[in-house]
Amino acid sequence: MHPHRKQRLIWVSLIVVLSSAAIGLVAFALRDNINLFYPPSDVVAGKAPVDRNIRLGGMVVEGSIERSDTSLTTEFWVTDYEASVAVRYTGILPDLFDEGQGVVAEGRLDEAGVLIASQVLAKHDENYMPPEVAAALEGKSKPSLGPVSP
């Protein structure tokens, strides 16, 4: 092999190896920061990972909001009209958060199937619904029953 070609092959190989290592390190660093969206029916079916950051979206079940008297902890149920998941959030909720409204809660599922939310997002006007929530609710009718436990 000609020395010039050999040197070029070494440089190309080195670039490929270093690029692969860089991509692998970036993917490894970002794997815990990826938040996947799950509707309540997927969470109840066990498709959502336990103890990893996820986003849960749906509608707040009527009559399900329970506020603590001694802290900022609020518990409520989120439904996609097929199943419901309990959510526990400590902090100040958005002004537009209310029963029967669309919501996206970000957090981790505990072993009991309760989402321990680190952030709760409510819709910002009467026409807006997050695309993931709209897709999850599409074609489902509103139930007449209360929350369905997991």
Give the end-to-end CA distance of the chain in Å, rounded to a whole number: 67
Q: Are the C-beta atoms of 87 and 78 separated by less than 8 Å? A: yes
Token pair belonging to 37: 């969206």
> CA 97 to CA 50: how far, in whole Å?
25
* pLDDT (tens digit per residue) in 51-77: 788 899 889 999 999 999 999 999 999
List the domain boundaries for the chain: 3-32, 35-137
Q: What is the pLDDT of residues 83-133, one digit of tens each?
A: 999 999 999 988 888 888 889 999 999 888 899 999 998 865 555 566 776
Write out the CATH class of domain 35-137: mainly beta
Q: How many Å apart are CA 109 and CA 54, to the nearest integer?
A: 8
